[in-house]
Amino acid sequence: MTDSPRDGAAARGLGGALEGASTFLDAIVENIPDMIFVKRASDLMFVRFNRAGEELLGWARDELVGKTDHDLYPKEQADFFQTKDRETLRNKVLVDIPEEPIDTRRGERRWLHTRKVPILDERGEPRYLLGMSEDITARKLAEERASAAEHELAMIVQSAREAMLAWTLDGTIVTWNGAAERLFGVAASDAIGTSLPDLLPDGVLPRFAEAQERMARGEEMPLYGVSLRRRDGRELEIEVSMFTIREVAGRPRRYAAIVRDMTELARLRHVTEVLSRPSQMKIEVVATSARMQQALAAADLVARDPVATVLLLGETGVGKGWFARRIHAHSPRAERPFVELNCASLSPQLVESELFGHERGAFTGAVGQKRGLVEAAEGGTLFLDEIGELPQGVQAQLLTFLDSRVFRRVGSTRTLTADVRLVAATNVELKKAAERGAFRRDLYYRLSVVPIEVPPLRERREEIPSLARTLVAELANRVSGRKRTSLARPVIAALQRYDWPGNVRELRNVLERAMILARGGAIELEHLAPELRDGAPGDKSETLADVERAHILRVLETCRENRTRAAEVLGISRSTLKRKLAEYGVADDD
């Protein structure tokens, strides 16, 4: 039996159609941008590669066909590929490998997203393995860079000195770095997953709620400060910067805040404000003694030089602090801070930290960074009282600072600078201390660029009346509604007879006590302590006439024999003074 002409024509038509379809499919496979390959199921030998496969792998097609993975890749990599291939053929299902690394002929590492599917024969057995691989190297590298950047960002957040926290729109905390743990005293494990309002004190909640509502409306939040009490009772002053983290489309995704501990800075600002208040400068001294006039003239002269270092010398209580504030008030730095440190008030371990500051972890108890008084006094004046008590180690650092204006915080390697004028004071003979090695000789010479000696009060008794009245007025102003308090003449005389071992500080304390006893009235002798009423120190066997004579002659000597001025200081007329001097056998100067 032979085929009919019609059947032959149909067969030729079907063959032509199949051939055309094959040509069409070949063209599609050749022009697909992804690599397509075919392996024989029996030995996993490559039998087909498209043009994209050649370009990706770097081999010509005739170098690929007839080879296996072991001919192209390192053994470990080839074993991995063939294991996946056999698994695909055995299970007779498509296998999706999202990330598959290969090494090209050029030595490049490429990442592929590969799908492998078995091609079955008429009996349902695998005959070929078809593979389709998309080159995802660019995406993979971008993801790795993003992952690295995200890791770096996480490290930055975790290592930041400022507290950083983030929370969802409903208030659940999702980020809480190490600085937040230290600042708020709450571990990250306890904070993350907790509602942020549950961790905030009641006094902070209204401000927090208002800020979040404003951010929800799209407003930008300025920096603001707030007081915070931790769970352990510690009071903090913090500065908060809140902002919104948005999605690409602009919708709010999370809220976040950067919180800085301003407690130490607030303390330093408070100290600076207190020490720089005009009330600290308002006591004026009427200098009538030659030594006091010289000291004031020297202070006013050096005040005009904004960089000269000043060393104030004198006994305890003579008013060296007042001189330091006067120098600051009359200097070009008057509008900048005046900061004071008593070097004897702190332990040697704390002086360095108080003066130059410290970094977190510099020593036990250094839970945060602290700015020192040198930084707080930037542009102004730093007054170091009782500098003779400064520890030797800190003396060396202070000398370095005076020479170069650079310093380092305790525990830091970073060099900082500060523009500060230094005024130092001491009640010890610093030169002798330097000679016996108790104080650095080089620092002594550096400090004593302009030495000013403040005379003790017993050597300027003629100034006691005006100074006492000024002090009484200043003390009265501190009590609201207190009338101006007067000093009885016998009180003035008693104050002038006393030797004042505690100097002006002792005089102030005596007057303050007397004002309390006077209850707003005039200060009388009965309001003074017995040693002042009796003219102590002195020989109690002396008669009143002897005491009066010694006192008048001392005042006359202090006033350089100026009888008019001596009479004013004594509170008597010049004729009375002349008569008394005649009784004492002092010749008339007329």
3-state secondary structure 45-69: CEEEECHHHHHHHCCCHHHHCCCCH
**Confidence bin at 312 (pLDDT 50/70/90):** very high
**pLDDT tier at 382, thresholds 50, 70, 90:** very high
| 244 sits in which H/E element | strand 235-246
Q: Average pLDDT for residues 9-22, to the nearest whole number?
A: 55
Q: Flag whether pLDDT at 420 surpasses 50.
A: yes
Pick from 188, 191, 255: which is nearest to 218 by CA? 255
Distance, C-alpha 294 to centroid of its chain: 43
pLDDT cut 70: percent of the chain above it: 85
pTM more than 0.85: no
Higher pLDDT pick, 519 / 43 = 43
What is the total residue count of the chain? 590
191 in any annotated domain: yes
Q: What is d(CA 129, CA 443) in angstroms, rounded to the nearest whole number?
A: 88
Would you say residue 216 has pLDDT above 70? yes
Q: How far is CA 222 from CA 161, 240, 241, in A?
A: 20, 9, 7
Does position 538 have pLDDT exceeding 50, yes or no? no
424: helix, strand or coil:
strand
Peptide bond into 537 cis (omega under 30): yes
Q: What is the CATH number of the domain that holds 567?
A: 1.10.8.60
Question: Is there a contact between 410 and 361 (Cβ–Cβ < 8 Å)?
Answer: no
Residues 445 and 470 placed together within one structural domain of the fold: no
473-482: burial string, b at 16+ Cβ within 10 Å, e else: eebbeeeeee
Among 140, 169, 196, where does a domain finish?
A: 140
Residue 362: inside a domain, yes or no? Answer: yes
> Is a pLDDT exceeding 50 seen at residue 539?
no
- Co-location of 176 and 229 in the same domain: yes
**Chain center to CA of 383:** 22
Residue 25 counted as domain residue: no
> Which of 98-102, 517-521, 580-584 has the least mean pLDDT?
580-584
Report which listed range, 195-209, 255-269, 298-312, 502-516, is most confident: 298-312
Q: pLDDT band for position 275 (50/70/90)?
A: very low
Under the banding of pLDDT at 50, 70 and 90, the label for residue 218 is confident
Domain boundary among 221, 240, 261: 261
Give the pair of three-digit tokens for residue 149.
């950047």
* Res. 537 pLDDT band, cuts 50 70 90: very low
Q: Which of 196-205, 239-248, 413-422 has the highest mean pLDDT?
A: 413-422
pLDDT digits (tens, 9 = 90+) for 183-204: 888 888 888 998 888 877 666 7
More confident residue, 17 or 144: 144
Residues 81 and 184 occupy one common structural domain: no
- pLDDT of res. 202: 65
Judgement on whether residues 292 and 403 belong to the same structural domain of the protein = yes
Select, from the ranges 32-36, 469-473, 475-479, 533-537, the one with the highest average predicted confidence (pLDDT): 32-36
The β-bridge relationship of strands 381-385 and 370-371 is unpaired
The band of 276, judged by pLDDT with boundaries at 50, 70 and 90, is very low
> What is residue 574's predicted lDDT score, i.e. its pLDDT?
76
Say if 152 falls within a structural domain.
no
* Residue 206 burial by Cβ neighbours in a 10 Å radius (0-12, 13-18, 19+): exposed
Strand residue runs (E) in 370-511: 370-371, 381-385, 406-407, 416-417, 421-426, 450-453
Do 413 and 331 sit in the same domain of this protein? yes
- What is the side-by-side strand order in the sheet with 224-229? 173-176, 163-168, 252-261, 235-246, 224-229
Residue position matching structure tokens 């950067």: 258
Interatomic CA distance for residues 235 and 71, integer angstroms: 72
Give the Cα separation of 516 and 485 in Å (integer): 11
Which residues 6+ apart lie within 8 Å of 434 measured at CB?
Answer: 440, 441, 443, 444
Q: In this prediction, what percent of the chain has a pLDDT beyond 90?
A: 20
We report the CATH number of the domain holding residue 351 as: 3.40.50.300
The top-scoring range by mean pLDDT among 38-52, 206-220, 526-540 is 38-52
Average pLDDT, integer, range 545-549: 67
Which residues 6+ apart lie within 8 Å of 582 measured at CB?
588
Radius of gyration of the chain (CA): 46
The number of domains in the chain is 4
421-426 and 381-385 strand pairing: parallel
73 and 50 within one domain = yes
Task: Render the burial of 3-20: b for 16+ CB within 10 Å, e for the rest.
Answer: eeeeeeeeeeeeeeeeee
Cβ atoms 262, 288 nearer than 8 A: no
- Determine which of 116-125, 272-281, 289-298, 469-478 has the lowest per-residue pLDDT on average: 272-281
Cβ neighbours of residue 169 under 8 Å, at least 6 residues apart?
Answer: 216, 252, 253, 254, 255
CA torsion through residues 56, 57, 59, 63, sign:
negative
Among 105-109, 325-329, 524-528, the range with the most confident prediction by mean pLDDT is 325-329
Angle at 174 between CA 170 and CA 175, to 5 degrees: 135
Is pLDDT above 90 for 526? no
Q: Taking all residues of the chain, what is their mean pLDDT, rounded to a whole number?
A: 82
Give a yes or no: residue 10 inside a domain. Answer: no
Q: What is the pLDDT of residue 118?
A: 92
- Decide the pairing of beta strands 163-168 and 173-176: antiparallel
Q: Predicted confidence band at 482 (pLDDT cuts at 50, 70, 90)? A: low
Q: Are residues 130 and 210 in the same domain?
A: no
Mean local confidence (pLDDT), 284-292? 74
pLDDT in tens, 115-158: 999 999 888 899 999 999 999 988 888 887 777 777 777 787 88
Residues 384 and 473 both lie in one domain: no
| Lowest-confidence region among 91-95, 497-501, 543-547, 578-582 | 543-547
Task: Inform me whether the pLDDT recorded for 7 exceeds 60.
Answer: no
Q: Does residue 422 lie in a domain region?
A: yes
- Rounded Cα distance between 133 and 34, Å, is 6
Whether residue 271 sits in one domain with residue 412: yes
Count of CA atoms in the C-beta half-sphere (13 A) of 279: 9
Task: For residues 479 and 492, state if they share a domain.
Answer: yes
Band the pLDDT of 547: cuts 50, 70, 90.
low
Of 532, 544, 549, 542, the C-alpha closest to 496 is 532
Long-range (24+ apart) CB contacts under 8 A made by 268-273 are 268/339, 268/371, 268/373, 268/376, 269/376, 271/339, 271/340, 271/376, 272/337, 272/338, 272/339, 272/376, 272/377, 272/380
User: Residue 274: pLDDT band by 50, 70, 90 thresholds?
Assistant: very low
Q: Clarify whether residues 278 and 410 are in a common domain.
A: yes
Q: What is the pLDDT of residues 499-524, one digit of tens each?
A: 888 888 888 888 888 888 887 788 88
Contacts of 419 (CB under 8 A, 6+ apart): 378, 379, 405
Residue at a domain's end among 216, 238, 261: 261
Structural domain boundaries enclosing 575: 460-583
* Separation of alpha carbons 395 and 186, rounded Å: 40
Q: Could you read off the pLDDT of 336-349 as tens digits, one per residue? A: 999 998 887 777 77
Tell whether the model's pLDDT for residue 560 goes beyond 80: no
For residue 499, which of 474, 534, 475, 523 has the smallest C-alpha distance?
Answer: 534
Cα dihedral value 185, 189, 191, 195, nearest 10: -160
Six-digit token string for 160 = 């930041």
* Domain CATH for 208: 3.30.450.20
